[in-house]
Amino acid sequence: MIAMDKQAEAIEGSACAKVILCGEHAVVYGRPAIALPLPMLRARARIEPSHYAFTIFAPDVGAVVSAWRHTRRTRDPLARAALAALDLIGQKPPRATLIVTSDIPVGANLGSGAAVSVAIGRAIAAYFGYPLSAEEASQLAYEVEEIHHGSPSGIDNTVIAHERPVWFVRGRPPELLDSAIGDTLPLVIADTGITTPTRIPVGDVRAAWEREPERMERCFDAIAALVRSSREALERGDLEGLGRAMDANHALLQQLDVSCPELDALCAAARAAGALGAKMSGGGRGGNMIALARDAAHAVALCAALREAGAKRVICRARTVTTGDQPLPDLQI
């Protein structure tokens, strides 16, 4: 999304957060996964003319980056995103200031890094009048994701750049799903408050796969079967079936040793409060879990139960139609 402030001669690009509904970790090994955008949480990049060399400010993390001092292959993620965008559109760093802000918690498995990269790419492209496509934005973000995660699957940058529910298989063109799938799903997201870099559990899974390839492949196949079941349940509006698949997916992720006691406790609390299903979401060892409510009103009740169980942040993703065509707004508690 692009916004222009003509009075200030500034341009802003933004990008949403995401959540993985099912299939994490196995997706790295060629199995499918489903991810949903979280449009209520966004990263923003605002670029405006300056008399000085191109500089990036990220006040949320206390970063000031003199992008012109970096090379194209820098390991600084902010500079890398900006220079990759400039390289794509054939421009040199302008005399401008780029200010990056974000609502998305860092290290919570909600796609903060990819969203920042997409927002930067969109702002810079719009500044030069270049029509950046979703695929180009996704590729820019993937390049930066390699800095954050080492060997990312590509699912985060894909769902964020397209801002649509995505059926994703690594190495294949993404399949964009009906936007209504995400809009009508009464989903609650709860943050453990524990920050673990995704590359750590991803690396541990890789090491386990190298030690025990047959066992790990069986686990990945079982996860893939649940992802397919989840899609079928979504398409026929079977929330109970989706919930069962989510519970089973979490059990398999526990077998991969990527959950943690805090995630397990929040999943148990959600189920005790009547959730149809609950699972960790993302890299694991902290970050977020997701719970499926019966409807929008139950989603609000689940938020309270998860808060009581120790969640540091709870987001209600329910947008179920209530009366007429007016959806229940996204809630952040």
From CA 109, how far away is CA 315, in angstroms rounded? 13
Indicate the DSSP class of residue 59: G
- Cα separation, 153 vs 226, in Å, equals 18
Q: Which residue has the tokens 């229940």?
A: 328
Kindly state the helix (H) or strand (E) to which residue 19 belongs, with its residue range: strand 10-22
Contacts with 172 (C-beta within 8 Å, 6 or more apart), sequence order: none
Catalytic-labelled residue, pool 103, 156, 191, 247:
156
Strand 326-327 with 277-281, pairing: unpaired
Q: Where are the beta strands (DSSP E) in 166-268?
A: 166-168, 175-176, 187-191
Which residues make Cβ contacts (< 8 Å) with residue 85, sequence separation at least 6?
120, 121, 124, 125, 132, 140
Nearest by Cα to 242 from 226, 218, 257: 226
Burial class (CB in 10 A: 0-12, 13-18, 19+), 173: exposed
Q: Tokens representing 2?
A: 């692009």
Encoded tokens for 58: 């990220």
Active site residue 183: no
Residue 56 and residue 73: Cα distance in Å, rounded?
A: 17
Residue with tokens 């390049």: 143
DSSP string, 23-64: -TTGGGGT--EEEEEEEEEEEEEEEEE-SSS-EEEEGGGTEE
Six-digit token string for 286: 């902290």
Catalytic site positions: 156
